Structure 1
Amino acid sequence: MKILIIENEIYLAQSIATKLGELGHICDMCTSTKDALKSNLYDVVLLSTNINGQDFNPIIEAFKNSIVILMVSYISNDTVSKPLSAGAKDYILKPFMIEELIRKINHFQDYERLKRQSESYERYLNHSFSSISSEHNFENLELPLFISCNFQKYSDSFAFKYANKQNKPLYFVSLTNPKAMSEIASLPISTIIYVTDFQVIKKSEKKEFLDLIKDRNVIVSSTDKIDDVDFDIVEIKSDNNIFDQSDILPIEDYVKYIVLNYQHKFPDTELSKKLGISRKSLWEKRKKYGITKKK
């Protein structure tokens, strides 16, 4: 990382820079906020609040996209509270161990990375679901809940919009995963879980699954008709039978979708014929995609 150290105690700044340099970081030093404002291309800014007569707000504003950590000798409104309110990420009390400083830097790096990743995923989902015009009434909705829709994307939209309405994260599990049951069982009871591919679950596992989710916040989707469950079922009618009009799927994704959603409707001989592949190739596709055929 590229780190800027703003500190008027030269020996302290040099000591910090040396220790960070030994860990592979690139460090620059300056003794005033005026010099610090000449460049804002830093991952981390270590800002000493002991520099008398300096206004720290321009630094915090200029480096708003960096991790600004205050280095303070004592805690007060001027050294900690006001800079944190202005946008600094954290503070560390002098004297400090370099390991504690690194821990803080790594923590905020991870936080910023996850924040950007979450924002990116949210933008992608909003874009992906923008073609779905269906509106849902989430008032008085009780979980567990089952969704039946022949187009998976509509069910996905329902689940993610529900979680967004609740202002809670959504944990995704597919029943095509052999460890799906144990994964659900290991989650905290308050977690909102979105379970897909109910249509592939084996009859012998159905009761176990229903018992597992009965006291949990679970949304279960199926591309097939759902019956014989003692939970509320929402049937969503899509405008498309298989794929959204704006979607052009790669051949591999298309084959995976067809095998996953139609293998329980057609025998292997007929399904492989419709796909234009051999039964051996169909078996290889299942193995490749991790699809378990329901018996």
Structure 2
Amino acid sequence: MKILIIEDDLALARSISHNLHDLGHFCEIISSISEENKEPYDVILVSSKVCTQGRCEHFVRYNSKQIIIMMASHVNEDGVNKPIQAGARDYILKPFKMDELLRKIQYHKAYQEMTARLGFYENYLDFIHAELPLP
């Protein structure tokens, strides 16, 4: 998967990136959400420390198709609650174990794939229902 890490603590970002890279994921690190996100990512990990002045909610809404997981040292309004309400999928409390982060990523990726598959089958069944006469 292609993963963007937005973290102002470079040592933590590199550690996360290294662990995810060892598992076959491509990771990119940036230090703030003010930097333009032009490339599509499967997952975006966002530190709650970089969430200031409503930027985080706008960023989350703009990237609503990606899996966004907030990384926070504690749960608060600006760093976790508002981004979740704007569409972030989950949060994880720092410090965390990589296994826990991986489980969250895998869960949300599987959920995203199942939701897409369900949408396909719903459309297919609607088409069949509209085209075939039922007794």
SS at match of 1:27: strand
Please tell me the residue identity of whatever aligns with 1:46: L
Q: What is the aligned-residue identity percentage?
A: 38
Unmatched 5+ stretches in structure 1: 134-153, 155-237, 239-295
TM-score by length of 2: 0.93
Matches within 5 A, 1:229-240: 238=135
Unmatched 5+ stretches in structure 2: none
Q: Name the CA shift for 1:132/1:52 in 2 (closer, same or farther; >3 Å).
A: closer
Q: Does 1:19 align with 2:19?
A: yes
SS at match of 1:92: strand
> Counterpart in 2 of 1:247?
none
Matches within 5 A, 1:36-47: 37-47=36-46
SS at match of 1:91: strand
> Counterpart in 2 of 1:4?
4
Matches within 5 A, 1:72-83: 72-83=72-83
Matches within 5 A, 1:170-209: none
TM-score by length of 1: 0.44
- Return structure 1 stretches of 4+ with deviation > 4 angstroms: none
Map Cα deviations across residues 226-256 of structure 1 (whole Å, 9 max, x no partner): xxxxxxxxxxxx4xxxxxxxxxxxxxxxxxx
SS at match of 2:49: coil
> Counterpart in 1 of 2:95?
95
Counterparts of 1:74 and 1:83, CA distance in 2: 14
> Counterpart in 2 of 1:186?
none
Please identify the structure whose Cα radius of gyration is greater.
1
Q: Name the CA shift for 1:82/1:53 in 2 (closer, same or farther; >3 Å).
A: closer
Q: Name the CA shift for 1:29/1:110 in 2 (closer, same or farther; >3 Å).
A: same
Contact 2:51 2:78 in 1 (8 A): no
Please tell me the residue identity of whatever aligns with 1:32: S
Structure number with the higher helix fraction is 2
How many residues get paired? 134
Matches within 5 A, 1:37-186: 37-51=36-50, 53=52, 55-132=55-132, 154=134
Contact 1:40 1:63 in 2 (8 A): no
Please tell me the residue identity of whatever aligns with 2:50: I
User: RCO (CA 8 Å, sep 6+): is it higher in 1 or 2?
Assistant: 2
1:132: Cα distance to partner?
4.5
Map Cα deviations across residues 255-290 of structure 1 (whole Å, 9 max, x no partner): xxxxxxxxxxxxxxxxxxxxxxxxxxxxxxxxxxxx
SS at match of 1:56: helix
Q: Name the CA shift for 1:40/1:61 in 2 (closer, same or farther; >3 Å).
A: farther
1:51: Cα distance to partner?
2.1
1:52: Cα distance to partner?
5.9
Please tell me the residue identity of whatever aligns with 1:107: Y
1:49: Cα distance to partner?
0.8
1:40: Cα distance to partner?
4.1
Counterparts of 2:106 and 2:22, CA distance in 1: 16
Contact 2:7 2:31 in 1 (8 A): yes
